[in-house]
Amino acid sequence: MRPVFFRSKFGLYNLPIFFPDATKAVVRTLDSRDIENAKISGILVNTYHLLKEPGERVIKKFGGVSNFMNWNKALVSDSGGFQIMTLVKKIPGNGHITDDGVIFKCLGSKEILLTPEESIRFQMNLGVDMVIVLDDITPQNVSYQEAKLTVNRTIDWAKRSKKEFVKLCRYKNFTEENRPYLIGVVQGGAFAELREECTQRLVEIGFDGLGYGGWTVGKLDNFNYEIARIISENSPINYFLFGLGIGKPHEIVALYDLGFRLFDCVLPTRDARHKRLYVYNAKSIDEINIKSENFYSYYIPDKEKHCADDQPVSLACDCLLCTNYSRAYIAHLFKIKDVSALRLATIHNLRFYSILTERLRINS
């Protein structure tokens, strides 16, 4: 069966887990206690951005990112692979990628060289519980041959990453019981054959799990569940399956049924800052039915009627916002552009996601 626990240096956590993106060692508008009080079990930090600022010297001084941000639960780092797409492939002149690694051109004359080995080394210094290997994201709408090149580079980088990871585990005297998990990333775009090949070749290298990497939408911008199925069916049953950058609540429910147990996404926190709050279509937490077709909706306080609504944002939520304030109050805070609106909305959306993982455990 798929793993049911996630081992952290702070203890064991029940799966599934949704990891909010704390890209720069912070979930925007919140502190670490806010995140914990939303009953979030873990967060994900970004290798590229932390390498850039505050940099390795500061991270090492604090003995890792957990001490730096005072976070005492599960912690995952990504590899910086997504930034290869967003900062280099999509922006001409912002850097270049080779088989050796990627060079990011930052402000001024500063450059950051990120190789598979450097990504692993920095992530190990972050002191995380799960390390993700550097991969070459397959762009959208490319030919089969172009996609094949990204798969081959991803596999080559995965081999180099695994070698560096094993070396560092020995150097740090890690055992199988206390070392971080290592996750490979499946690329290949919308080409099912390449996704299957990439999955199988990564399994041959040997990891603790695999991530659904790259773009997850297919034709007509619909989520590509078939690729998720291919990854699941070609992965050992004891592997973690990680929905990288996924997602939307109904996508998480569907991927959970396919064996995925780990998820991260910017959506709930980003949406909160843009006045989009997630609401279960239920009168209490116990009445939430995540198997129903329309089990959630959105509350967007942008109409005059919201300014006098004395009901909580959600009856099926026990977050700081819903247990203390009305829809009218959060609408007022957004209207006057007070920063507390962003904090309360973000706490609410994160509690929505932690309730989602709780319901998945109950229903499994």
Answer yes or no: 78 catalytic.
Answer: yes
Q: Hey, what are 74's tokens?
A: 């599960």
Beta strands in 251-331 (DSSP E): 262-265, 277-280, 296-299
Question: Helix, strand, or coil here: 117?
Answer: helix
Catalytic residue among 78, 129, 135, 136: 78
Nearest to 356 by CA among 254, 266, 258: 254
CA atoms within 13 A on the CB side of 123: 36
- 9 and 178 in contact (C-beta within 8 Å)? yes
DSSP 234: T
DSSP 54: T
Nearest to 81 by CA among 179, 187, 159: 187
Q: Which long-range contacts (CB under 8 A, 24 or more apart) does 282-286 make?
A: 282/315, 282/316, 283/315, 283/316, 284/315, 284/316, 285/316, 285/317, 285/318, 285/355
How far is residue 266 from each of residues 47, 131, 191, 339, measured CA to CA in Å? 16, 19, 26, 19
Q: Do β-strands 277-280 and 296-299 pair in parallel, antiparallel, or remain unpaired? A: antiparallel
Answer yes or no: 338 catalytic.
Answer: no
Catalytic residue among 129, 135, 136, 264: 264
Beta strands in the chain (DSSP E): 5-8, 11-14, 17-20, 42-45, 74-77, 95-97, 102-105, 111-114, 130-132, 181-186, 209-212, 240-243, 262-265, 277-280, 296-299
Q: Which amino acid is at 218?
A: G
- H or E segment and range at residue 292: none
How far is residue 336 from each of residues 192, 339, 340, measured CA to CA in Å? 49, 9, 10
- 282 and 296 in contact (C-beta within 8 Å)? no
Q: 80 in the Ramachandran plot: left (φ > 0), alpha (ψ -120 to 50) or beta?
A: left
Q: Hey, what are 100's tokens?
A: 């050796």
Residues labelled as active-site residues: 78, 264
